[in-house]
Structure 1
């Protein structure tokens, strides 16, 4: 078995769907992939767009740098001739660029749908040239995301999407990762995705495929329950809500005491069976 890094494995995953004709446009990932020039160049070579996280210390050029090839650099009077190109222009860290952004550069956008409604955050974008192996790459978009609140959390992304892809679209693509992470957590909690005891790749793939298939089955079974109810259903629900507490209709085989307890009413009293009156006895006077 040959050791391969996460970016190398991810490139193989992206290479498989392309010949098979699986349609996809975007690729996303965290800093492990955004800080890896080989992965970024591989995604770009496949003609795909990406929104990848980068570290706060990532260095970029905010103005187009000038690259002098090694054979055109002046030769030193002593020593070996230069073998690497020379980049003319100063680089800056992405966190320094974000700190210097004016207030008007930020736009509030919806990054996705959450369990409690839309996920709102603020975004700003700057055209930059990322440093790839000490050389400038093509022009990209530095996206800076800032959460709402008194202590905002700031994240940095890089994207090669063209101008036709709006800032809102790029923010939503990045927000899809939250949904994927929630799906993984659901698969672990409901379908035992992390409860494998295998020692080989084949067994691990079998367990993972069955767990994901089980989660897909559960999602399909839940969809009919989320459909919009008919007017008759809403009318029956309104009538049931307006009924007095403790007067819910009982079906066949239902226990009246159990239904009454569930609706908050007191259980009905059962009639007591008549008992014979106690017999009086006379005692003789002493």
Structure 2
């Protein structure tokens, strides 16, 4: 980093330090954050302490100090994350407004049974059921940049309902079992309450299949564009009386439309090629199992994608984006969900998100908070140095401005 960037980093850490209040916490946060931003291959507490301590005889003491800061010290994760989010958003918004909020989850592969929240469960990170923790994230994005602003650890009932495990992992009494859907909605509600800008929530079918997720997003004043699975039933809105029609699965509806109903749409320039596929868009009402007549459900767009090489449509989404919006713009916005893949790639590959070796609930959240704060600073620097006019420039390193 140049001198100006270093000054911005110092001021940024100073702002976080004001939240932490205690001098030792300020110092520990800075040491830990610089370790995550640095080039160490392994970014768990012990090697970070060793790299930060020039005196070999003091390494053990430095390790214990960082261990206490991350695993045991009481400081407000959400206040630090809120500060980091607003810092990055201010830089991003100079080029384009925050438009999308992206909900997703990722796995933290583990060995053993003692890391808080770990059990055998499915994670897309491994593409299978494996021993892991699951973290749910909320990221916000403009058309050009993105930043993760919040994270929650999913506690299965095997942890949330086990008093001995709760004591061992120091899970607060206020933390009870919540589904991944509820954790995601909690982050969205918190972001709305804190005035984070945004218009539309993007999510994959795990969240999009849940009608309570979609309805809560709408009650919070946001649009959504969410994946759904083929068995989801909808009522196609046409000139006929909708109450006399029978709901049909979106998979069957896609097959009935046939190839001629699908148009090729390009949504983004990828690495070496233009990303495109064939889409159909239809106005529907969803047959939710909520006891409310389908005629009273909100009309939404059903987006159907027919991938090249497939014999039938295989991807489906629902969105409340305005009817006046063009098909191409709807596709482009929905496909912005790819940004969460970049978030996980960079958080894990560059900032050691999945390197934490502690077992306790507070430690996991403190570690994630520092990683999110580092990411927010780097995103703000990217927005300053690489404005949209330079977005096609290719850089060899994922984090060209990392310390």
TM-score of the superposed pair, with normalisation by structure 2: 0.47
Matched, 1:199 2:359: yes
| 1:57 is the counterpart of 2:231 | yes
In structure 1, the partner of 2:216 is 42
Q: CA deviation at 1:157?
A: 0.2
1:119 aligns with 2:275: yes
Which residue of 2 is the match for residue 14 of structure 1? 188
Alignment-derived partner of residue 92 in structure 1: 248
SS at match of 1:208: helix
Identify the match of residue 160 of structure 1 among 311, 314, 320: 320
Q: Could you tell me whether the CA contact under 8 Å between 2:264 and 2:279 is conserved in 1? A: yes
1:111, 1:168 within 8 Å by CA — same for their partners in 2? yes
CA distance in 1, matches of 2:318, 2:356: 35
Deviation, 1:126, is 0.9
1:129 Cα deviation after fit: 0.9
1:140 to 287, 297, 300: 300
Residue deviations 1:223-245 (CA, integer Å, cap 9, x gap): 7886899xxxxxxxxxxxxxxxx
197-206 or 169-178: bigger deviation = 197-206
Is the contact between residue 60 and residue 128 of structure 1 (CA under 8 Å) also seen in structure 2? yes
- Cα shift at 1:199: 3.2
* Structure 2 contact 204–227 (Cα < 8 Å) conserved: yes
Match of 2:165 in 1: none
Deviations along 1:2-21, one digit per CA (max 9) or x if unpaired, are: 11111111111111122222
Partner residue in 2 for 1:252: none
Structure (1 or 2) with the greater helix fraction: 2
CA contact (8 A) 1:37 1:132 kept: yes
| 3-state secondary structure, aligned to 1:194 | helix
State whether residues 230 and 314 of structure 2, in contact with CA within 8 Å, keep that contact through their aligned partners in structure 1: no
Conserved? CA contact 2:306–2:315, under 8 Å: yes
Higher relative contact order, chain-length normalized (CA < 8 Å, sep 6+): 2
Displacement of 1:162 after TM fit? Answer: 1.5
Determine whether 1:101 maps to 2:261.
Answer: no
The equivalent of 2:197 in structure 1 is 23
Shift of 1:120: 1.2
Q: Deviations over 1:184-217 (max 9, x none)?
A: 1122111111111233443222211222333344
Q: Is the 8 A contact 1:120 1:148 kept in 2?
A: no
The runs of 5 or more residues in structure 2 that have no matched partner are 1-174, 391-403
Stretches of 4+ moved more than 4 A in 1? 149-153, 216-229
For the 8 Å contact 2:251–2:313, the answer to whether it is kept is no
Distance in 2, matches of 1:22 and 1:222, equals 20
Structure of greater Rg: 1
**TM-aligned CA distance change 1:222 to 1:12, over 3 Å:** closer
Q: SS where residue 355 of structure 2 aligns?
A: coil
Whether contact under 8 Å (1:112, 1:176) holds in the other structure is no
- Counterpart position of 2:340: 180
- Contact 1:111–1:174 (8 Å) recurs in 2: no
Which range moves more in the overlay, 129-138 or 219-228?
219-228
Task: Report the TM-score, using the length of structure 1 for normalisation.
Answer: 0.64
Are the equivalent residues in 2 in contact too, given 1:62–1:127 (CA < 8 A)?
Answer: yes
